[in-house]
Structure 1
């Protein structure tokens, strides 16, 4: 009874509501609620439907066109290339028919209502796609598993305070300051640090044998050295000079420039020549845009570089700000990578074999970790710009030339009291260059250019050697280099070309009047003989031994 009464009340309500379109009245117990949300206008609905129909029609038309185009290509192929008279069909049809006959038994496994040719094409396409996906995923997994993250080491470098209140970090190697017979300072190159001596792999025992104090330091913004607000090669040479004074280097010192670090060694020869006893250049880089290079030298310099490296050089010269994008994706990504990839290098076979060894990889990773310690883009961009921009000087300026007073009234008056004195300009000390003839990082054409404009430089061309093979982790090579610039270790000679060229020894009356003259010269001082011949022509040649 109760159920029938409730049904009657609901029907009464429906009858009453039929007289009114929307009363807005909600009866208690009614489960339905009116939809009060605004409804779109009919015109808007029509416009949306028309736009959808247009998009669908456009897509369908393009699909039909693509299908018709495909059928058209098929017809063209069948009527031209795939005819029985065509050369391709005559050559390929017999072997394909034989192959099809051999594998025809596989068609028994296919559905009977399908064309075998179409089925096998689909199977081939899916198989190739699956293999591609598997190869990419396997490469990704192997790459992820082999990637080594950059380790941040605690700070602990020795540092000096420069006159402009910047700190410069350095690392000593070899003998102590009191035991040193020779001091050798090494400015590092791009993506390196004060541990550049470790990259070379020179043994401490060898340095002690020659009495060499080897000093590496961090360039501004690298490692633990403070950045320089306006860095250039002049400021780089001054930093090197302040470092030598602060750590107690006695007398003159030698500079060693390796690869991209050589531009700071060139700057030392230009801006502080009186403090540098000599220079040892290992595969030295010069500005690849130097206007003094001939077309042939430029062509040979650029021809073996990778496209990526050429592009990075161009960006460093024209749009240096864009370099940050590449650096953040490579060595500033927080992960280690291959040397040739990080620096966009192409390597010779000997170099490839060397950089894949665990010993080289260990010292390379340590150098990179120290180089990117501060995680700052600016020092790397500045270093890249210095390589390709105007250095503020040319290597021609280092050429030894005789400078005489200009002609004029003052020089004429001076001539009345005596002939005018001419002075030698340029860098007077010895410069030795070692260059691998298979080097693809710093090509031999750069050394040929240096040898042309600096004829006094001694060039040691290394056959079948690359950019790293002779200079890194090679004890015999290191011994040859040290013996060339410092002489044999048992001789312990103090005489060098810089001392002879200063003329101090030649000004001594006792020296000139002595009947017995004993001069011991090593291979690095061969030019001393020529110098003494010009200054003291009255001495017998037999004494110059």
Structure 2
């Protein structure tokens, strides 16, 4: 009798564990019961759809064409403070922007096979579909900045220039000295340390960890005040519209959780092994970071800049993670990218 009860309890526990660890299917846009499709989308080679939004001057008249990559828990509707660049400046420069929902976000189909390489391929396909020409610029903010590393690795021949704004770092990139990455890792809140451990070492438990109620999960996803600098807290009302329920309307697993697994998983390359894509100064790469960023440690960005001296490194004193929303900062970022080689 005891054995039978134990077997039943074991089966029940395994069934519960499987259900708790296995995410529900995403609510695809345009599917029965799913969110509606409201934005223009392109169909990629693998059948997925990518939603996008155009900003600035028209494609036909633009002098500069830029693809913007949004960050964590955001969408194509937020272009990292670039809307703060005065209209007359954008028109004078002749800048066209296109932003897109990364896979699983907003109205773009999820990609269960998402990798840094596949994201670079998505960007290249978007550029070709919109006929942006043989070369274009990329700008990425936060987790979107991390995506730019994939562009520098896999499609450098398509780039006119690139900017990484407060790019998220992966503490497990091989080139980081162990003591440096360990010290930076432990600067995070303990709940974020555990969130990233799970995403890196046991990615199959990522959904469970971020939905269970026993321990606090990601403080960044919860937007706890402790992850923001003093400047960030002052800017929060400015960026409130960049994180909306629509960003994760298809489900948090294929958006937020997939971001964690890809961003902090095992990469197929080390960014610090990337060669200069512009050896003849025909373009430039810029990395901007605030020295009071509490989400991405400044010490690791300094190391990246030291290892890759061809990157134009801009460190902003007193700035947190949201510094692109400071008036005139985004204008400086834009002009540095577009005019530095002139």
TM range (shorter): 0.7 to 0.9
Distance in 2, matches of 1:210 and 1:461, equals 25
Listed as ranges, the matches of 1:65-464 within 5 Å are 154-197=36-79, 201-203=83-85, 205=87, 206-328=89-211, 340=220, 342-343=222-223, 346-355=227-236, 357=237, 359-361=238-240, 363-364=241-242, 367-400=243-276, 429-464=283-318
In 2, are the aligned partners of 1:188 and 1:196 still within 8 Å (CA)?
A: yes
Matching residue of 1:471: 324
If each structure's helix is expressed as a fraction of its own residues, which one has the higher value? 1
Distance 1:254 1:325 in 2: 38
Distance in structure 1 (CA, Å) of the matches to 2:219 and 2:198: 20
Between structure 1 and structure 2, the one with the greater Rg is 1
Structure 1's unaligned 5+ residue stretches are 1-151, 331-337, 402-423, 488-523, 527-545
**Equivalent position of 1:333 in the other structure:** none
Say if 2:333 is the partner of 1:481: yes
**How has the CA–CA distance of structure 1 residues 448 and 427 changed in structure 2, closer, same or farther, with 3 Å as cutoff?**
farther
Secondary structure in 1 aligned to 2:227?
Answer: coil
Provide the secondary structure at the position in 2 that maps to 1:399: coil
Rounded Cα–Cα distance in structure 1 between residues aligned with 2:211 and 2:97: 32
- Residue deviations 1:301-354 (CA, integer Å, cap 9, x gap): 223211111110001012223332454479xxxxxxx98561566221111122
Aligned length: 303
Structure 1 residues 171 and 482, CA gap change in structure 2 (3 angstroms): same
Partner of 1:406: none
**Higher relative contact order by CA 8 Å / sep ≥ 6: 1 or 2?**
2
Which residue of the partner structure matches residue 26 of structure 2?
Answer: none
Which structure 2 segments of 5+ residues have no match? 1-33
Alpha-carbon distance between aligned partners in 1 of 2:98 and 2:71, rounded to the nearest angstrom: 14
2-side partners of 1:297 and 1:486: how far apart? 33
What is the CA–CA distance in structure 2 between the aligned matches of 1:442 and 1:426, rounded to whole Å? 31
1:501 match: none
Contact between 2:191 and 2:219, CA under 8 Å: does it hold in 1? no
Does structure 2 conserve the Cα–Cα contact (< 8 Å) formed by 1:160 and 1:169?
A: yes
User: Is the 1:398–1:426 Cα contact (8 Å) retained in structure 2?
Assistant: no
Q: What secondary structure does 1:525 align onto?
A: coil
Q: 1:174 to 1:232 in 2, by over 3 A?
A: same
* TM-score, normalised via structure 1 length: 0.52
Equivalents in 1 of 2:266, 2:280: separation in Å?
19
Would you say the 8 A contact 2:173–2:267 is kept in 1? no
**Contact 1:351–1:467 (CA under 8 A) maintained in structure 2:** yes
Counterpart Cα distance in 2 of 1:360 and 1:234:
29
RMSD after superposition: 2.7
Give secondary structure in 2 for the equivalent of 1:192: coil
Give the direction of change, closer, same or farther, for the CA distance of 1:306–1:296 in structure 2 (3 Å limit): same
Mark the CA change 1:189 to 1:312 in structure 2 (over 3 Å): closer, same or farther: same
Runs of 4+ in structure 1 displaced over 4 angstroms? 338-341, 424-429
Does the CA contact (< 8 Å) of 2:184 and 2:297 recur in 1? Answer: yes
Which secondary structure state, in structure 1, belongs to the residue aligned with residue 319 of structure 2?
coil
In 2, Cα distance between equivalents of 1:235 and 1:378: 15
Query: How far did 1:392 drift?
Result: 1.0
The alpha carbon displacement at 1:154 in A equals: 4.9
